[in-house]
Amino acid sequence: MGFVNVKKMEVLVKLVYYGPGRGGKTTNLDYINQKYKERIKTDMVSIKTHGDRTLFFDFLPVDIGKIKGFDIKIQLYTVPGQVKYNATRKLVLKGVDGLVFVADMQEEMREKNISSFKQMQENLAEMNKDITKIPLVLQYNKADLREEGIPLLDFDTIDADLNGELKLPAFEGSAITGYNVVKTLKKAISLTMLSFKKELL
Amino acid sequence: MYGVSQEQLDQIDILLVQELIDIGVHSVIIVDVAGNVIAEHDNGNSQCDVHAFAALAAGNFAAVDAMAQLVGEQEFSVHFHKGEKESINFSKVNDDLLLITIFGNDVSLGFLRLKTAKIIEEIISIWKVTEY
Ligand SMILES: Nc1nc2c(ncn2[C@@H]2O[C@H](COP(=O)(O)OP(=O)(O)OP(=O)(O)O)[C@@H](O)[C@H]2O)c(=O)[nH]1
Ligand SMILES: [Mg+2]
């Protein structure tokens, strides 16, 4: 849960990138880290395996400026996407304020996207969080592979699979090229900030 | 989103400085389970990236807690890591907060634990959150 520090005039917000293994969550954070170098004063923390898979989480704090005098610090996390790490994913979700679900547009990933999304919903429910209420944006990643002739799900198909009922904001993206990475992030931040009661911000 | 008042933060800050920094603790951080830094103090010589530290500390504590449950323990309420020059002590304050102290060989672990237990009681009595 976001923390408001009235003494330091600072708001800390936790935004988690969730999705199937190898979907591109860490690559999203890598891109943001490169793009906003000047606003990120510290190194990205990654707890990963030798093969560069996320083992626990990535962590990247980004200062986005002031709202009503408060410094807003968005703390970005990724979960480990591999199926076997669900216990770890639950730990990373603790106190989450907003989510980005990174799906993989490759045809062969269709089932993995769906089961990861379902499990996210279950994990949130265990924490008494309702998927229809929590700020959530979807990114259909690896759109760049279309140029390479790799079979991809089309937008409507993947959107019907994951977002048929919820009708959340969803973007095609490419974490490698940066296409819609910032757009996804900005949408997730604005939904998250809006979700906080108006009293303060 | 939640917060506590300026007075509460002031009271906690005074406690941390007077009870811990003043006895030689190098650095003290209060972190919530989400990994947010609630309060932090050091003796002026710390170069630690406190937000990264908090994220790792909260994750580490949560992981050890989950392990405790796997072996049939409710929790391990204190964790301790000993280094050559710096050691780290993690204590659970309540279900939402952790108190982390980083200290050198000149501070005895026994004394630190005694102090920590006392401070935790005081923090619990100060801590009343407002939800936004
Ligand atoms: N072509 C293409 N490759 C991508 C894209 N995003 C990520 N990748 C590649 O996909 C692989 C996995 O990316 P990661 O960012 O590590 O995936 P992850 O979701 O963090 O995976 P886990 O940590 O296992 O959960 C890497 O080889 C990336 O280079 C993309 O937009 N396009
Ligand atoms: Mg990763």
Decide: A120 and A128 in contact? Cβ < 8 Å. no
Count of alpha carbons within 13 angstroms of residue A148, beta-carbon side:
8
Decide: A182 and A35 in contact? Cβ < 8 Å. yes
Find chain B residues with C-beta within 8 A of A42's C-beta: 49, 51-52
Q: Where are the alpha helices (DSSP H) in chain B?
A: 6-19, 50-70, 109-126
DSSP string covering A102-154, please?
Answer: EEE-BGGGHHHHHHHHHHHHHHHHHTT--TTTS-EEEEEE-GGGGGGT--B--
| Closest ligand to Cα A80 | 1
**In chain B, at which residue ranges do the beta strands (DSSP E only) sit?**
2-4, 27-32, 37-42, 78-82, 87-92, 97-103, 130-131
Mean pLDDT to the nearest integer, B106-121: 94
Find chain A residues with C-beta within 8 A of B59's C-beta: 47, 56-57, 91-92
Q: What residue owns the CA closest to ligand 1's atom 25?
A: A81
Confidence of residue A55 (pLDDT cuts 50, 70, 90): very high
Q: Which two tokens stand for residue A146?
A: 């279309």
- State the helix-helix crossing angle for A110-126 and A155-163, rounded to 10 degrees: 30
Q: Report chain B residues touching chain A, CB-CB < 8 A.
A: 1-6, 9-10, 13, 32-38, 49, 51-52, 55-56, 58-59, 62-63, 66, 132
Is the minimum distance from the CB of A55 to ligand 1 under 6 angstroms? no
Tell me which of 3.30.465.10, 3.40.50.300, 3.10.20.30, 3.40.50.2300 is the CATH number of domain A3-200. 3.40.50.300
pLDDT, tens digit, for every residue of B27-79? 999 999 999 999 999 998 887 889 999 999 999 999 998 899 889 998 888 88
Task: Specify the residue for token string 């170069």.
Answer: B47
Mean pLDDT to the nearest integer, A5-22: 96
The Cα B21–Cα A189 span in angstroms is 36
B6-129 has which CATH code? 3.30.450.30
Pairwise CB contact (< 8 Å): B52 & A95:
no
pLDDT of residue A201: 56
Is the minimum distance from the CB of A20 to ligand 1 under 6 angstroms? no
End-to-end alpha carbon distance in chain B: 5
The Cα B109–Cα B80 span in angstroms is 9
The residue type at B76? F
pLDDT, tens digit, for every residue of A145-174? 999 999 999 999 999 999 999 999 999 999
DSSP state of A164: T
The pTM score is 0.94
